Amino acid sequence: MRLDAAANTFAPALAELQGMGYAVRHQDDPGYCYVAERRDVLLHADDVLQLLALAILNKRRGDAACRPTDAEMQDLLRLEQRTP
């Protein structure tokens, strides 16, 4: 199976967010376009797929969602390296 980040995955991502208890809304403020909110969690992103990724990070990592380890940073840097 192949799954691409494309418009046909936005509705399922929204359904998953709602199933996780998030209220999702579009905002007209500059910056991020979408907000998902649940109790004490507030997520901001450019689209609902990104919101879903943030919700999963929050669920799995909690406060560590935005605190990568040194090893995680090294993995990301290796991934982002481009070879000529």
Using CA atoms, how far apart are residues 36 and 38, in angstroms rounded to an integer? 7
DSSP 64: G
d(CA 19, CA 44): 18
Distance, in Å, from the CA atom of 17 to the CA atom of 52, rounded to the nearest integer, reads: 6
For the chain, give the number of residues.
84
Note the pLDDT of residue 28: 81
The answer to whether the predicted template modeling score (pTM) of the entire model surpasses 0.95 is: no
| pLDDT for the residue numbered 83 | 63
Residue listed under structure tokens 């605190």: 67
Q: pLDDT tens digits for the chain (84 residues)?
A: 999 999 899 999 999 999 999 999 999 877 779 999 999 999 999 999 999 999 999 999 999 999 999 999 999 999 999 765
Look at residue 35 and give its three-state secondary structure: strand
Q: How far apart are CA 22 and CA 78, in angstroms?
A: 34
Please report the pLDDT score of residue 84 as a whole number.
59
